[in-house]
Amino acid sequence: MNPERMHECLTVIRWSPSTLALSLEIEGDLVDRWLNDAVPIPVSVASWLEALCFTHEASDLMRPAVSNNGRPHPHRKPNKLEHVPVYSYNLLRALEHGPVALKTLFGTDDEGAVFFLVSRGLAERQGSELTITREGRKIGQLSER
């Protein structure tokens, strides 16, 4: 990562250099030296920032269309229906049986499923566990006619 990319990532995640320093529990002048290209940016820091940037960019695509009063914004299209990927649906079915410890999902293929479900309001974090929401329980249910 070069200093320009670091600055881009900080802009996307809406962080100042001092916020990055606080998050990493380091002195602010080290972040300034990274941004001024005085010292190389560690790969671990660059990777972490890229992951945060990716997550923010993806979540911006799903930003709800609401106005200041909390109602749907009249000039923005509401979120449209979408397909639930199989891997996310399988995790959702597991959540039907009860909460799942989040630490069991880290570093697995289910990380993407967690992001998908939480970002669409189908699951939520409660402490150290992932639980299904009311909207998540509706998936797969047939409506009565």
For the stretch 58-100, pLDDT in tens is: 777 667 777 777 666 555 554 555 678 888 888 999 999 999 9
User: Do 134 and 90 share a structural domain?
Assistant: yes
- The two tokens of residue 51 are 């992951």
Cβ neighbours for 89, distance < 8 A, ≥ 6 positions apart: 139, 140
What is the pLDDT, as a whole number, of residue 74? 56
**In the chain, how many domains are there?**
2
Give the model's confidence band at 43: pLDDT under 50 very low, under 70 low, under 90 confident, else very high: very high
pTM (predicted TM-score): 0.53
User: Do 12 and 56 share a structural domain?
Assistant: yes
pLDDT > 80? residue 104: yes
% of the chain exceeding 90 in pLDDT: 39
User: Do 91 and 50 share a structural domain?
Assistant: no
The residue range of the domain holding 96 is 86-138
**Does any domain span residue 129?**
yes
Distance of alpha carbon 42 from alpha carbon 46, whole angstroms: 6
**Does any domain span residue 25?**
yes
> Is the model more confident about 3 or about 63?
3
**Does any domain span residue 66?**
no
**Does any domain span residue 80?**
no
Q: What is the DSSP letter of 72?
A: B
Distance of alpha carbon 98 from alpha carbon 51, whole angstroms: 29
What is the pLDDT, as a whole number, of residue 145? 41
